[in-house]
A and B are shown apart, each in its own frame.
Chain A
Amino acid sequence: MAAAITEENVQKTVFEALPQFGVDESAIAREATFEDLDVDSLDLAELSQIIEDEYGVALKGDDVGKIKTVGDAIDLVVSRGA
């Protein structure tokens, strides 16, 4: 059963996933850019898999190339679940 796609839930999932990739936990915030966090396309592919597993929504496609911040990614997932 997929979890409810709320901003709060998705944010929690993303914030918990990023440290697994080696991201400094204290630097994680909605405003933080993936570039500053040293999160690249391979990390995003892994994050997408986690999101899809949790919510049934993929973080893939052209839009993913445009996201810059952690908040952008959360908003994209939430919008796709709407």
Chain B
Amino acid sequence: MSRDVVVTGLGAVSPLGVGARTLHERWTAGTVGIVDGRGSAREFVPSEHLTVKEARRADRFTQFAIVAADEALAEAGWRDELPYDPTRIATITGTGIGGIGTLERGKEILIAEGAKKVPPLSVPLMMSNAATAALSMRFGLLGPCHGIVSACSGGADAIGSAKLLIESGHVDAVVTGGSEAAITPLSVAAFGALDALSPSGRSRPFDRDRDGFVLGEGAGILVLEAAETAAARGATPLARLRGYGASADAYHLTAPDKTGGGPSRAMAMALRDAGLTPDDVVYVNAHGTSTKLNDAAETSAIKLALGERARQIPISSTKSSIGHLLGAAGAVEAVATILALRDRIAPPTLGLEHPDEGLDLDYVPGRAKPLAIGDRPPIALSSSFGFGGHNAVLCLEAL
């Protein structure tokens, strides 16, 4: 049994604001959501979306997921009533770290005040599956429900895993995506100790002066449905999730394989899964972290996977606008990719002024540009790569 998978709802919380369209419109307009070197979701006010009890029962990464999911389910037309038997709806979301803010506060209390003062909510808030569980409970989704953990490819791997569950016939729909809220003292210090964070606080992927990534936070949630059941209920799909590819570098705990071999295999797998060739791709939403290593290895990977086609299409990095949302990145970027394709536009790689030597593709520096694709179907790849050598690539077609 293999079924087509469509996207019927999108939601996002990001450093550009609350809402999927806000993300798309502001990034396309060239807005940078990074302030003082951090991509905080500054416009997110929990009390505007959640009751006191809902907010207390959720770490910030879960709060993001809930609010993004509310938006996605509303768009899918699911809010009044679930359109499927709830046992046929899965919940699969990714995160890089989970509730690290809760963990850090708990540890501070443990040290300062002793074990008896550690909040009893610590474990249920910090666990990496907390956001996934919260979504299943909020909407009464009774099908398979679990988190996906693959560092910065978690969001993309969650969406890919969701696709497989629908294709196999295990379920008819999945609420999926990723969330992250890791702009915390420990996380900042630890990424800093790895020399991964940008000392300048600027995200400028593919630029010769790029000096690391900028931490961001937020969530992206998608409602996926089997195309046939979505059509049967009269839903209007936004996009089709055509392909998913994934691979491991088996190379280094943090550094990418310089040849780009692992990511290129994930890209090729996503295209094979989609039944497409490089010539069908009109845009690539790059992982584009603004680290020296990633942007060079990724450029090699794109060339390996797409061949000559790599030089003919625009490639841009959402992280130039919002920073790196770790386990949420792949999901937020899938949302951004779908909306960009629908508007036939390639949003810009902001901050890119001087392309680095050898980084010679069209990274859409500074300003968005139209996707002049005529009657061709708007098809893109969205790439995510994570510490541990995880590579996940989604192939999306706007409808």
Please report A residues at the B interface, Cβ cutoff 8 Å.
21-22, 38, 42, 45-46, 48-49, 52-53
Contact = CB atoms under 8 A, between A and B. Distances in A.
B56 A22 contact: yes
Nearest to A52: B116
A22 B117 CA distance: 20
B53 interface: yes
A42 B124 contact: yes
Chain B, interface SS category: helix
B45 interface: no
A59 B120 CA distance: 13
Contacts of A53: 116-117
Given A42-B57, A53-B116, A22 B121 contact: no
26 contacts: A21-B52, A21-B53, A21-B56, A22-B51, A22-B52, A22-B53, A22-B54, A22-B56, A38-B53, A42-B57, A42-B120, A42-B121, A42-B124, A45-B120, A45-B121, A46-B119, A46-B120, A46-B121, A48-B120, A49-B116, A49-B117, A49-B119, A49-B120, A52-B116, A53-B116, A53-B117
Interface in B1-60: 51-54, 56-57
Nearest to B118: A49
A53 B120 CA distance: 14
Interface in B67-123: 116-117, 119-121
B105 to A, nearest CB: 14
Contacts of A48: 120
Contacts of A49: 116-117, 119-120
A52 B116 CA distance: 9
Contacts of A21: 52-53, 56
Chain A, interface SS category: helix
Interface in B241-264: none
Contacts, number: 26
Q: On chain B, which size bracket covers the interface?
A: 10 to 19
Nearest to A48: B120
A52 B119 CA distance: 13
Nearest to B51: A22
A46 B52 CA distance: 15
A12 to B, nearest CB: 21
Name the 5 nearest CB pairs between A and B, nearest first: A22-B53, A22-B52, A45-B120, A46-B120, A22-B51
Contacts of B119: 46, 49
A41 B56 CA distance: 14
Nearest to B50: A22
Contacts of B120: 42, 45-46, 48-49
A29 to B, nearest CB: 19
Nearest to A47: B120
* Residue picked from B51, B53, B54, most chain A C-beta under 10 Å: B53
Contacts of A42: 57, 120-121, 124
* Residue picked from A21, A22, A48, A53, most chain B C-beta under 10 Å: A22
A61 to B, nearest CB: 15
Contacts of B54: 22
Interface in B119-165: 119-121, 124
A32 to B, nearest CB: 16
A45 B57 CA distance: 13
Contacts of A38: 53
A38 B54 CA distance: 12
B98 to A, nearest CB: 18
A40 B15 CA distance: 34
A79 B338 CA distance: 62
* Residue picked from B51, B54, B57, most chain A C-beta under 10 Å: B57
